[in-house]
Amino acid sequence: MPQKKINPTRTPMPEQPAKERIRNFNEVTHGYSEEMAVNEAIRCLQCARPTCIQGCPVNIDIPRFLAHVANQEFQDAIDVIKKTNCLPAITGRVCPQENQCEGVCVLAKKYEPVAIGRVERFVADWEAEHGKPAAVNPAKPSGKKAAVIGAGPAGLTAAADLAKKGHQVTVFEALHKAGGVLSYGIPDFRLPTDVVRREVDYVTSLGVEIKKDFVVGMAATIDELLEEYDAIFIGTGAGLPWFLGLPGENLGGVYSANEYLTRSNLMKAYLFPKYDTPIAIGERVITIGGGNTAMDAARTALRLGARDSIIVYRRSKAEMPARAEEVEHAGQEGVQFHFLTSPVAYHGQKGRVQSLECIKNELGEPDASGRRRPVPVEGSNFQIEADVIIVAIGQSPSPIIAKTTQIDTGKGGILLVDKETMKTSKKGVFAGGDIITGGATVILAMGQAKIAAAAMDEYLRTGIWEKAEEADTESA
């Protein structure tokens, strides 16, 4: 590449003004124009030894797709991405790029890194609008049948990869809509329903069948499915919400983030009574937690009509696990942050919550996660008034499958797998996504699903399953 002058700053993302967007559920960011995408893509140095590809859990050939965008070859760009990522419109929006591709971008040493996620999103959206219909390259039918449990990011990725290899794939989804956390969890203002539908349609266009309303473990066990299918991928996610176990937690108005977000996103409670599902519209809403889910809940509360939306987080801002952009957006929208604050009890009357009693923390020594441990300051208790309180402190895998079949599980009910192949302890059964991690990101789930799909393809073709004793059953 000839020497060029690099723009030190990224092309800004056009977005709805904060004051406007807190009154609607439309997407916050508008996405790049062609011109913006090209301007951003030419910032890429086209490194001879690119670090960004390793930074990507699904190893997208990032410099190559950026080079195509720089040359305005958008179709070629999307073709490069889709080789390894079947859901780019989603990952372009929800990946924590600052910890992945953009975090290791060479430019980041001196300037702002290339906004890879934003360009990825542009290319995916460009394809939806202008691209040729998804090329379904009909692989020779293998004659093998694979079942995928859960139509979330992991399941959809595994299903797409297996279908591309010529296997007949059926996805079993417990809910009435495909998408998993993309449908029930992540709000429309961050990931529009249409984008999820588009990506699900792409997967079904590959010949994948999605059976909804089918709760595996109840309607059929894994063992029963194994009688009909040659291999199974379990991608049922981490659906079991954690509560704090504090006094007053069962008062009305105290929600798990899963319930609050599911009501609003999946059930469209923000359009009640046009849609039948109600949701409590709080005047003052507290969200407990510091992750993406907590940001989503706190920002949903504002859009539902809360006057105040308050985040209570036990550590400090630096330790928050949420994506940087989400924290920034939440702040712009008026979400208030109480850092170094831990809940102690919920108080209320006549079955309805009225306040959250908290205690102040100081940061102590680093804990097992490497983050400094919050230590309560004795006697610092105080109350925050609230009529809705959302618990967004994490979740663990749904136990339904592990309870209904013989399969090895680890801490918190995760399924144990061999990390090289995503094989579980049960012959013919693979797993990936939050069911093996207990809760991570969309893109990590997709990366694991890709590994699993490759190993499944090999197993389906050869029928060889190494002995479970030899498998490394360390958790991921």
CB 401 within 8 A of CB 149: yes
CB of 155 to other proteins, least distance (A): 15
Q: How far is the CB of 143 from other proteins (least distance, A)?
A: 25
Shortest distance in whole angstroms from residue 96 CB to other proteins: 23
Residues lying near other proteins in the complex (CB under 8 A): 174-176, 184, 212-215, 218-220, 239-241, 243, 245, 249-253, 255-256, 258-259, 262-263, 267-268, 272-278, 280, 350-352, 398-400
Give the ranges where 363-433 is alpha helix by DSSP (H).
Answer: 400-404
Q: What tokens does 170 get?
A: 């059926």
Q: Which helix H or strand E contains 241, and what residues bound it?
A: strand 240-241
Strand partners, 309: 285
The CB-of-269 to other proteins minimum distance in angstroms stands at: 9
Nearer to other proteins, 55 or 253 (CB): 253
Contact 344, 374 (CB under 8 A): no
CB of 356 to other proteins, least distance (A): 18
Q: Extract the tokens encoding 10.
A: 């990224």
Please, which residue, 122 or 172, has the CB nearer to other proteins?
172
Nearer to other proteins, 168 or 395 (CB): 395
CA distance 276 to 61: 45
3-state secondary structure of 30: coil
| 162 vs 203: CA distance, rounded Å | 10
Residue closer to other proteins by CB (options 219, 377) is 219
Helix H or strand E segment including 344? strand 341-349
Q: Give CA angle at 164 (162, 169), nearest 5°.
A: 40
Residue with smaller CB distance to other proteins, 241 or 447: 241
Report whether 235 contacts 271 (CB < 8 A): no
Q: Which is nearer to other proteins, 307 or 352 (CB)?
A: 352
Q: What's the closest the beta carbon of residue 212 comes to other proteins, in angstroms? A: 7
Q: What is the CA radius of gyration of the chain?
A: 23
Upper half-sphere CA count for residue 165 (Cβ side, 13 Å): 21
Return the number of the residue (57 or 248) whose C-beta is nearest other proteins: 248
Q: Show the tokens assigned to 309.
A: 């939306």
Distances (CA, A) of 448 to 307, 320, 395, 439: 41, 25, 19, 13
Closest distance to other proteins from the beta carbon of 26 (Å): 20
30 versus 212: smaller Cβ distance to other proteins: 212
292-304 and 324-332 helices, crossing angle to 10° = 20
Among residues 180 and 207, whose Cβ is nearest to other proteins? 180
CB of 237 to other proteins, least distance (A): 9
| Angstrom distance (rounded) from CA 75 to CA 436 | 35
Whole-number Å distance between alpha carbons of 466 and 16: 53
Kindly state the smallest distance separating residue 270's Cβ from other proteins, in Å: 13
At its nearest, how many Å lie between other proteins and the CB of residue 342?
A: 20
Partners of 64 in beta bridges: none
Structure-token match 């012959």, residue found: 427
- d(C-alpha 17, C-alpha 340), whole Å: 29
Q: Which of 268, 372 has the CB closer to other proteins?
A: 268
